[in-house]
Amino acid sequence: MPLIKEDVNQKIFKVSEFLDFLNSLLVPQKVIVQGEIGAKMAQYPKFTIFNLLDKDNEAILPCFIWRSKIEELNIDLEEGMEIQVLGYPEIRKPKGEFRFQVERVGLVGEGILKKQFEMLKKKLDREGLFALEFKKPIPQFCQRIGLITSKYGRGAKKDFETHLESYGFEIYFYDVRVEGLSAIEDVCRAIKWFNENLLTCDVLVLTRGGGSWESLRPFNSEEIARAIFASKIPIITGIGHEDDETIADLVADVRASTPTHAAKILTENWKLASINIYEFERNFPSLMNRIFKNTESAIIFFEDNLNKKIKDEIFSMRTKFEEFTKSLMFHFRKEIASKRERLDNLLERLNLYFRNYFEDFRALEKEFIRNLLWIQRLISDKKVETTQFLNKLIKNQDLWLARVDRLLKQQREKLIPSSPILKLKQGYTITFNEFNQIIRNLFKLKPNQMIKTKFYKGQILSEIRKVEK
Amino acid sequence: MPEEKFNFTKAYQEVEEINDWFQKEDIDLDEALEKFQRGMDLIKKCKERLKDVQNRFEEIKKKYSIEKENQGEEVDPKDIPF
């Protein structure tokens, strides 16, 4: 709460109150200061402290910057570097020291800017921010347009709006700074705003007029590049002149060379459609007419053709039928004649065969009867012969018996002297071993072996004492 | 069929499709009549949309608020040597 002058003169401040009072005046002074980085930079992990110098006047501005702000540059701060700092002045109460709180650093000098540009381009390219596969298509007919540019710019807004013809576009204009360090924040906020509040936009147009390469710097920043990439709504860029190529252009879904070109891209399809629609309107009835005519002539052609075709067809069928009948009759006749001939042949051959068979059969029959008579005669002859033999046999029976008896007696008498019983009777003995085998020599006999000796009447068992060979 | 909300892009694309369809060789008359009527109907609606319609401008009023970028990072003042 700033005090008015009268109050300040009367009031007696405490130190803390006074510093607060000074800060309340200093902090809102958001300014951009340009100078050179002096020697004795103090680098800490989270922040850096350095002096910004004015070489000619030997003036010094102590600055404080967070490490993350330096990282956004993609280039390290070095002694002797010419830079611009955006931020605000402040007095640190604990030490009573003045410092400039840096919110954003901008490099100065074409050489270093180009280097920064190339490094960022390479980095984002590696990450794929320029890849075609991530480009969102612009609708064929855009109606709702989010326009992000400056109302104070050098005619970019006017150029765009003038060349956007009247096709009922709805343009939502978001005013942003397009130059200087604060442009980055503005543009990023605008893109975010549309994505959060007006997602029904068909397209966003990010545009600004031409200027020096240095003045287009915000559009070469990493923040804007990432904001464009993150947008769900497709973005057309139209930045500077035709030859200017910024990082924003590379990330954008479509790059227009100028604000005018961006307007033309959006108008183009509408314009084409408004020509084409009249052409379609003219063409459709004539196309339809052509189809009617084609159909009509096709019907007439079919009608004529059909009559002729039917006649032709009937004639051709009749001819075919007659030919067929003729050929059928011819075939029948031929077939019947051939069949009859074969039948006659067959009958003739059959008759011949039968005749032969009958004759053979008759001859065989005669021979059979002859043989039969011969066998009958033979049997009756043998019968007589057998009867005679039997009678003869009965008559001589006794004679035969007597002869047999006599013969038997003679044989018995011959046998008696060689009988073993007779030999035993005469006093001989027979000796057996334990297996009842007759012993004929002494070879196998051993002392102590048992032997059996048979007499005419009775037998003895004895043991051998000695074998004398 | 209830009248759906007119969509120019869809309508125009359908007209183009019908135009392509008419370029075919074998065309069924009934289908052609149907397409023709549909096409003429859409053309009429597209023409109405394409009539000189003034563009509408609206500037977005921002609630501009100064947000300090570094509010999230608090450091003990003693760590800062000036």
Other C-beta atoms closer than 10 Å to the C-beta of A358 total: 9
- What's the CA gap between B60 and A174, in Å, rounded? 5
Would you put residue A180 in left (φ > 0), alpha (ψ -120 to 50) or beta? left
Which of A94, A99, A167 is facing B78, going by the closest CB pair?
A94
Cβ of A277 within 8 Å of Cβ of B22? The answer is: no
A280 contacts on B by Cβ (under 8 Å):
15, 19, 39, 43
Cβ of A193 within 8 Å of Cβ of B39? The answer is: no
Q: What are phi and psi of A232, to 5 degrees?
A: -80, -25
CB B55 within 8 A of CB A167: yes
A50 → chain B, closest CA residue: B82
Chain A nearest CA to B8, separation (Å): 8
CB A184 within 8 A of CB A217: no
In this structure, is the dihedral angle defined by the CA atoms of residues A51, A56, A58 and A59, taken in order, positive or negative? negative
In sequence order, the β-bridge partners of residue A92 are A97
Other C-beta atoms closer than 10 Å to the C-beta of A446 total: 8
A97 contacts on B by Cβ (under 8 Å):
82
Position A445 scores a pLDDT of 83
Chain B residues whose C-beta sits inside 8 Å of any chain A C-beta? 8-9, 12-13, 15-16, 18-19, 22, 27, 29, 32-33, 36, 39-40, 43, 46-47, 49-50, 52-60, 62, 69-70, 73, 75, 77-82
Angle, alpha carbons A84-B62-A22 (nearest 5°): 50
Taking alpha carbons only, the member of A39, A113, A32, A34 closest to residue A74 is A113
Give chain A's residues under pLDDT 50: none
Cβ of B15 within 8 Å of Cβ of A174? The answer is: no
Which amino acid, B76? D
Chain A nearest CA to B32, separation (Å): 7
B67 → chain A, closest CA residue: A185
Which of B8, B19, B49 is facing A280, going by the closest CB pair?
B19
A191 contacts on B by Cβ (under 8 Å):
none
Cβ of B50 within 8 Å of Cβ of A281? The answer is: no
Cβ of A284 within 8 Å of Cβ of B81? The answer is: no
- 3-state DSSP assignment of residue A419: coil
CB A83 within 8 A of CB A77: yes
Taking alpha carbons only, the member of B21, B18, B25, B24 closest to residue B40 is B18
B44 → chain A, closest CA residue: A281
Sorted by sequence, the CB contacts under 8 Å of residue A113 that are 6+ apart come out as A107, A213, A214, A217, A220
Chain A nearest CA to B30, separation (Å): 11
Taking alpha carbons only, the member of A146, A213, A203, A145 closest to residue A179 is A213
Cβ of B77 within 8 Å of Cβ of A64? The answer is: no
Q: What are phi and psi of A389, to 5 degrees?
A: -65, -40
Which of B40, B56, B59 is facing A175, going by the closest CB pair?
B59
Cβ of A92 within 8 Å of Cβ of B55? The answer is: no
Q: Which tokens is A322 given?
A: 């007659």
Cβ of A94 within 8 Å of Cβ of B46? The answer is: no
Q: What are phi and psi of B73, to 5 degrees?
A: -105, 95
Q: Which tokens is A368 given?
A: 């059979």
CB A61 within 8 A of CB A100: yes
Q: How many CB pairs under 8 A join A and B?
A: 118
Position B72 scores a pLDDT of 38
Please tell me what DSSP assigns to residue A32.
Answer: E
Cβ of B75 within 8 Å of Cβ of A47? The answer is: yes
- What's the CA gap between A216 and A213, in Å, rounded? 5
A62 contacts on B by Cβ (under 8 Å):
82
Task: Output the DSSP codes for A116-152.
Answer: HHHHHHHHHHHHTTT-GGGPPPPPSS--EEEEEE-TT
Q: Which tokens is A326 given?
A: 């003729």
- What's the CA gap between A390 and A393, in Å, rounded? 5
Which of A62, A270, A276 is facing B82, going by the closest CB pair?
A62
Position A235 scores a pLDDT of 95
Sorted by sequence, the CB contacts under 8 Å of residue A433 that are 6+ apart come out as A439, A444, A445, A449, A451, A452
- What's the CA gap between A96 and A90, in Å, rounded? 10
Calculate the CA A265 to chain-centre distance: 42
Position B77 scores a pLDDT of 46
- Residue A171: is it exposed, middle or buried by C-beta count within 10 angstroms (0-12/13-18/19+)? buried
pTM as predicted: 0.56
Q: Which tokens is A375 given?
A: 């066998």
Q: Would you write out chain B's pLDDT as a tens digit for each of its 82 residues?
A: 445 678 888 999 999 999 888 888 777 888 888 888 998 988 988 888 888 678 888 888 765 433 433 343 444 444 444 4
Sorted by sequence, the CB contacts under 8 Å of residue A123 that are 6+ apart come out as A74
In this structure, is the dihedral angle defined by the CA atoms of residues A168, A174, A180 and A185, taken in order, positive or negative? negative
Ordered by where they begin, the domains of chain A are 5-108 (2.40.50.140), 118-271 (3.40.50.280), 429-463 (no CATH)
Cβ of A171 within 8 Å of Cβ of B57? The answer is: yes
Chain A nearest CA to B3, separation (Å): 22
Position A157 scores a pLDDT of 82
Chain B nearest CA to A283, separation (Å): 9
